[in-house]
Each structure stands twice: as structure tokens, then as C-alpha cells.
Amino acid sequence: MKSTVDEIRARFDADVERFSDLSVAQATAIDSKLCLELIADGAAAASPNATAILDVGCGAGNWTLTLLQRLPGLSCTLVDLSQPMLDRAQQRVSAAGSPAVATVQGDVRELEFLPESFDLIVAGAVLHHLRDDAEWDAVFAKFHRWLRPGGSVWVYDYIEQESPVIQQVMRRRYADFLNGVGGPGHAAKVFGYADQEDTPRPVTWQMDRLRMAGFSAIDLLHKHLAFAAYVAFK
């Protein structure tokens, strides 16, 4: 059985300090800092007049904070399962100068916002917690509905591969990376909770489902072993 929402929430409730430091929080996520910069630069170039962003699974606010460096006038809506994470994100984002910061504790699968509320949606390392195909389709449909015309969703996430053979190769190389970061046995620890909590999908599969949801242009920004970043435009 996969972890429940309450179990996932409890783990993140207890890990706020680590997720407030990008260099520590993303130690097991390959090229996370690069992808953060790619997404921030791309979003600022694609939507220089953006006024509203939705950060899904915002954690301690690292993604929104980086976007605000390029687009300082953004009004920010932060969503997370964890109230302690939201409290820290609100504190940090408000201090960074956002003119309006709203927080919503909850699961994106259960939330609703008015249509065409946002210019940008960012989902950093969160969608892999979705379970069956219907949940992915429903969330992608929400993203499309919540975006204004010309808006975009920016995703960085843990993925799997379409080919089982390639999945084995990438998992083995990712294990080498993890053990290099955390020492012998670290890969087993990370894979243990990832296999318990996560249900990743191939990035190619996600792109297909985004087109089914109505997105018209999709670009792969980066892919390395078990992680990828992409953008989809409404």
C-alpha cells in the first residue's frame, strides 16, 4: 500500500527547516537548481507581464521565491498539504516583496480556483504523489482551466521511464548518484520512501496527457536520469 495523504503530510510537517535551504532540500534531486533557474528564466521570458502565480506543493517557497527575482510584481497563491511548510513559505515570500500572498492548505486533487485566475502555475517535485491516471488527468484539466489564455504550467519532477529496460539503467545510475551524495546505503533509504510514497510517470506520458487536457505547446526543458522539467502552454 502507498502512503496516505496524512502520512505524507506528517513527513513534510517535520521537515520544514531542511526544505527552507534549497541546497540541502534538493540534495537527492538531480539538477534541481539548474531546473529551478531554467523554469524561472523561461517563465519570465514567456510571461513578462504576469501578475499571478499558483505554486502547487510549494513547500517552504523556494520556487516562488526564485520566480519573484525575475517577476517581482507577482501575486502569489501557495498550496501545500503541510501547514508548517505554508507558514514558512508565506513568511519568506512576503519578505521577498510580493504584493499579495495567499495560502491554501490542501490537496490539489480536492481544490478549486476560479477559471483563468493565474498566468503561471509551478509544480516543483509534487505531481509524483498523484496515483492513478484519472487523478493525473483531473489535475491537468484543472491547470488548464485555472490558467489565463497564453498562461503556462512549469513542472519539475521525479519520473520513471517508458521502457522497463531503460528504467533499470536509470535507476541503477540514480542509485550511484545517491550513494555518492549520502554514502553507502543512501540509495536504499531514498528508494525505500520513494517506492512507498510516490507514483511517478514518464515525462513523455505526462506530455501526452497535457495535450489531451487542451495544452497546445509543450517543451522539455531538461531530463537527467530520474528527473525532468517541462513547460506546457495554454
Q: Residues 141, 147: contact at Cβ < 8 Å?
A: no
pLDDT digits (tens, 9 = 90+) for 39-77: 999 999 999 999 999 999 999 999 999 999 999 999 999
Domains of the chain, first to last: 5-163+199-233 (3.40.50.150)
Specify burial of residue 194 (Cβ count, 10 A radius: 0-12, 13-18, 19+).
middle
Q: What's the residue count for the chain? A: 234
- pTM, entire model: 0.94
The alpha-helical segments, DSSP class H, found in 47-115 are: 62-70, 83-95
Angstrom distances, CA of residue 44 to CA of 53, 68, 89, 198, 202: 12, 9, 21, 30, 26
Q: Is the pLDDT of residue 21 over 70?
A: no
What is the per-residue pLDDT for 20? Answer: 64
Rg (CA), the chain: 17
Alpha-carbon span 150 to 233, nearest angstrom: 6
How many of the other CB atoms lie within 10 Å of CB of 120? 27
Helix (H) or strand (E) holding 5: helix 5-13
pLDDT digits (tens, 9 = 90+) for 193-232: 899 999 999 999 999 999 999 999 999 999 999 999 999 9
Evaluate if residue 24 carries a pLDDT over 80. no
What percent of the chain clears pLDDT 70, i.e. is strictly above it? Answer: 95
